[in-house]
Amino acid sequence: MSRVLLLGSYAPSLVLFREPLLKALVQAGHEVIASAPDEDPDVPQAMEALGVQWHPIEFERNRVQPVRDLLFVWRLGKLLKELQPDRLLCYTIKPNIYGGWAARSVGVPSAAMVTGLGTMFMNPSMRCTIAKRMLRRACRHHDHVFFQNKDDRDDLVNAGVVEDESKIVMTAGSGVDLNAFPVQPLPDQPIFLMLARLLESKGVREYLEAASLLKRRCPDAIIRLGGMQDPGSGGIPMDEIQPMVDSGTIEYLGHVQDVQKALGECSVYVLPSWHEGTPRSVLEAMSTGRAIITTNARGCRETVDDGVNGLLVPLKDPATLAEAMEFLTKDAVRRAAMGQASRQMAESRFDAREVAQVIMKALGL
């Protein structure tokens, strides 16, 4: 059996997104260690319950700070020497870059999971060029690079970031735990839900504008938004949202702890995002049997067969989004049929247990 270190950039994501993989590794008899910035007091307890060792490591996940980032590479190399894992598995941009660098410096095999290309990679700039060069250096050491959609794969191959295409492995996103998100009965009313950080790149402004359009045409429709505020670049301030709450256009749920409950109380899930790896919130909504409205954008389009389990709308197009919401507002039979198709797709394409097996098989674990 092997000793495996999983490195991420946000401690709660180990529970929210990586739990099925961690479970599968432990059940296969591997010694599993998880590491990320220690930003949540509940994570150590959750890791202990999974049988996973917890070793937090501090670094700035949202900002490029050369001196601090180099110190992070040094600290990570020191941690690798201390723990002596047989394998390092990284996800998100900084761990994928600096994890590869540190692993190379101490001779530990490593692999990267590309769970989406951030805004920096979407917009040509000097920062983008530098980041691609840094990731290319890391990918020369990574022996596998896992992608969740072909657009991200093609971009990094065409940019020369992944030079050896034999390292590439495709996965169905991070998958979804079908047992944790069982089918739930649909409410009779048309109730729309979007759960996301309050960022412009998640399509929050498009959702708000579509909500205004829809409420004029279908005043009985209920439109809900949940998610944490984000103080970083591209965050949507509450002073844009509060007037719509005050007018009764939307219901703002704040940070949603019980996602399953929120999904059970909606009939259609909406995510007008500009780009994703494969959106986990959509997979969870699909698993509970919800119709999906999302954009025809990278990562998002992988979750919808247009007209079967949901509707695809153009990017940054609130008018068309409102029309799609209106269409499902007026057709309860179609909402139910699409919800059933979503669950079937979740079972056939996005089972997190199968995703874990693809990763483990590729890595020989």
How far is residue 38's CA from residue 61's CA, in Å, rounded to a whole number? 12
CATH code for the domain in which residue 125 is found? 3.40.50.2000
Domain count, the chain: 2
Highest mean pLDDT among 54-68, 69-83, 218-232, 288-302: 288-302
**Are residue 163 and residue 260 in the same domain, yes or no?**
no
DSSP symbol at 351: B
**Nearest partner of 289 among 252, 271, 254, 263, judged by Cα:** 263
Give CA–CA dist 151/153, Å, rounded: 5
Q: Exposed, middle or buried: residue 110 (CB in 10 Å: 0-12, 13-18, 19+)?
A: buried
- Token pair, residue 179, equals 């047992």
Take residue 6 and report the two structure tokens written for it.
């999983």
Check whether residue 197 and residue 236 sit in a common domain: yes
Helical residues (DSSP H) of the chain, grouped into ranges: 11-16, 19-27, 43-50, 66-83, 93-106, 119-122, 126-141, 150-158, 204-217, 238-246, 259-264, 280-287, 318-329, 332-349, 352-363
Structural domain includes residue 182 = no
Shared-domain flag, residues 229 and 167: no
Give the three-class secondary structure for 68. Answer: helix
- Structure tokens, 356: 């874990």
**89 with 132, same domain?**
yes
Checking if the pLDDT of 62 tops 80, the result is: no
- pLDDT class of 272 with cuts at 50, 70, 90: very high
Does 201 lie in the same domain as 93?
A: no
Q: What is the pLDDT of residues 18-46, one digit of tens each?
A: 999 999 999 999 999 999 987 778 899 99
Shared domain check, 269 and 124:
no
Residues 230 and 139 placed together within one structural domain of the fold: no
Helices 126-141 and 93-106, packing angle to 10 deg:
40
In a domain, 200, yes or no: yes
- Classify residue 185: in a domain, yes or no: no
Q: Which domain holds residue 315?
A: 191-349
Residue 128 has what pLDDT? 81
Q: What is the mean pLDDT of the chain?
A: 92
Residue where the block lists tokens 């909500």: 211
Residue 225 resides in a domain: yes
- Claim to verify: residue 282 and residue 159 sit in the same structural domain: no
Would residue 103 count as lying in a domain?
yes
SS3 143: coil
> Higher pLDDT residue, 124 or 206?
206
> Do 230 and 122 share a structural domain?
no
pLDDT, residue 297, reads 94
Residues 255 and 339 in one domain: yes
State the pLDDT confidence band at 66, using cuts at 50, 70 and 90.
low
The verdict on residue 37 lying in a domain is: yes
Q: Tell me if 181 is assigned to some domain.
A: no
Task: Say if 64 falls within a structural domain.
Answer: yes
Same domain assignment for residues 358 and 272: no
355 and 288 in a common domain: no
What is residue 69's predicted lDDT score, i.e. its pLDDT? 77
